[in-house]
Structure 1
Amino acid sequence: MRPTPTEGAEGLLALAREGDGEAFRALVEPHRRELQLHCYRLLGSLQDAEDLLQETLLAAWRGIDGFEGRSSVRTWLYRIATNRCLNALRAADRRPPADYRPEVPLPEPSHHRGEPAWLEPYPDLLLDGIADRAPGPDARYELRESVSLAFLAALQELPPRQRVVLVLRDVLGFRAAEVAAMLGTTEDAVAGALKRARGTMPAAPPPPTSVEPRVVADFVRAFEAGDVEAVVALLSDDVRLSMPPLPFVYEGVADVRRFLTAVALREGRRHVLVPTRANGQPAFGAYVADAPLMRAHGVLVLTVAGDRVAGVTRFVDNSLLPAFGLPRSLRGGLR
């Protein structure tokens, strides 16, 4: 007798092996979002993550007959996704960054090496429904910590194998034996890669405080008013401003003030910031006045530490806006 979907995962698996596409979709759909997030952590790019997710699901569909059930469906899917991402990282055939030319000359930056050119923000709306699992005793990062921009940027600096091991062990909580099986290596090799990776990662960001909404609201009012000094008053002494994929970083109040005055909030330039969230942080779709429309000006992500803004990251690629449910332009005047 043919198994039916009501018999659970085993029944769905049996139907999928017979070529039932609906059963296959029902089998993998509960894992879709977490697999996309996994690919994003490894690749740093939302668009690349979506491409690799589709590759993973296609490979799973084509290889469903070879799944022997020795692990859970979830672990099997993570094995496929992980190795697909590793292949992509080895190929080094990354999506070219957005072709962005500043409208005005930029001030000399504090230094010329920022986040990886391919780094993109991740909409919090895609995090809905993803469990904060951490089932293993060595799991170190909570969901909020493991999607922060600082964590993602540092992760991209690791060699691919170390990056994968850190995510599988410390973020997702897979056991060393499971990771070794996924990667076709030994538990000793996994332990060594994890030790090296841990030594380079930054400390987890502090949790948001009760004053964060006030700080963010004050920032929005000052930025939309074009008030450089009011924005600067909200910044930490070691504030950092960057604009991926441009390799320019402005650090410290003086350099950030200089950038705001000469570029972002230069005289006569006005913005509207539409709130959203990215990487567990306050974020905005940025729009600049260009009558009769407000034209898109990228995605702005804030890092708030205590009662100060410690980081401003503007992703200049306007093609990211639809992923946040935001339009390419706004009609109407300034607020």
Structure 2
Amino acid sequence: MTLGTLGQVKPLDLTSDPVALTAALVDIPSPSHQEKHIADLVEQALIDVPGVQVIRRGNTVAARTDRGRAERVVLAGHLDTVPIADNVPHRLVDGVMYGCGTVDMKSGLAVYLHLFATLATSPDLAFDLTVIAYECEEVDSQFNGLGHLAASDPEWLQGDLALLGEPSGAIVEAGCQGTLRVRVTTRGRRAHSARGWLGDNAAHKLAPAIQRIAEWDNREVDIDGCVYREGLNVVKLESYLATNIIPDEAYALVNYRFAPDLTAEEALARVEKHLEGYEVTLEDSVAGAHPGLDKPAAAALIAQVGEVKAKYGWTDVARFAELGVPAVNFGPGDPSYAHRQEEQVPVEHITRVATQLRDFLTPARPVGNS
């Protein structure tokens, strides 16, 4: 049960219009690590869908049909939001819904839950369906519910195509870039700044490394017609002891966003080669995901939506890619509004994604042998 905006106790109705369901989800506060209440509601609502199997791991809930279709589509979205910033409950103004989680990604999750619930027993459904509503996407990856499910129950992520409800402007954003972060360190010798010639300024030694990073030749890589543009950038600089001390250590944190044609190891090797002669330490890395648009189910989705582009940035589609499942991002709204106090999603985007995805899942001629 959930408290509505007027204080009444209400269950979640997954068969309600996706716009109304988005509003209901937004009005349930669920910052990261506080998803139990919303997970309880989603779990109960999915249990009420006839003929499906439901599991729960922590505050991650998943359900699937088993109708013997030849292909399976996985629909995944996260339950958590960033901290609320006086933007719950939702507001609906001139066709735009405002509120924490509207675009990232309760609108996408609402569409997925709605279609799962309304199509689970439909004779027109061309695919078996799995829906996953997971916890802790907005925090450190060690807490990520989809990652935990991939480790404990990998079969629940298996399918012929996976969709992630990331905001993508109501078009398909395919695959994702990989990302790694390295620390570039220079060392010197401390001295009083009044006698700086007695020291060796580590910060000054860092300058040539920064210049070399600025001269990096960014690749543009075309995979399945999606062009991924890479970037190597300094994201943090630090070198300080006191205002009258020559620093003996300086470092730059450097982020490399790389195309999914590279493994994480290959990407690191490129950075190390470019910064040869400097002390480079890997802090974090994760590979990207190929778009997989040559797969029949993915091609059918693209034909239905009509527009596709590369995903800049890393998303959880990479977790599916690790399991050999082609995955794309497909959700309502402009991702630039994510995490902002004025977070918002156009109602028309919610309706469009729901309509296009329903048409894909229930084609006039069944896909494959389904």
- Larger helix share, 1 or 2: 1
- Larger strand share, 1 or 2: 2
Name the TM-score, length of structure 1 as normaliser. 0.24
Name the TM-score, length of structure 2 as normaliser. 0.22
